[in-house]
Amino acid sequence: MEDEWIESELAGYDHDAGTLRFAVDTPSPIALLRKLVAVGLEMESECSVTNGKARVFSGNGFLQSKCGIGNGELHGASRWYRKAGSLLRTGQFTLGTWVSTWRTFDRAGTLVKEAML
């Protein structure tokens, strides 16, 4: 269904897998671009990853968190961000268990707190 919607929206544009071309002498279709970005962020934020790396985005498009996933659980280095994009917290997991010192940063990026196991 989602693919059908995208195909119908792109019907008047030169496109193929992974590429969308616009004429240089006409205004960019801002509404269409916003829809495509929203769909891309939604797809990226689904976090259906069971092994590998996952990224979750806020509604404003900024990165909300970035973490490793192992067997469907948090695994490896993890980073969380504020809505405006600045780094909030870092830490490490091993298969869902917190295993490191958590570091919290202020909006300027200065370390303000460390929490240990």
| Nearest residue to 73 via CA among 89, 60, 92 | 92
pLDDT for 81 beyond 90: yes
pLDDT in tens, 28-71: 888 888 887 777 666 655 555 566 788 888 777 788 888 888 88
**Any idea which residue has 């067997």 for tokens?**
71
Residue 90 near residue 109, CB atoms below 8 Å: no
Mean of pLDDT over the chain: 81
Burial of 73 (0-12, 13-18, 19+ CB in 10 A): middle
Domain boundaries along the sequence of the chain:
1-44, 47-117
pTM greater than 0.75: no
Amino acid at 72: G
pLDDT of res. 48? 54
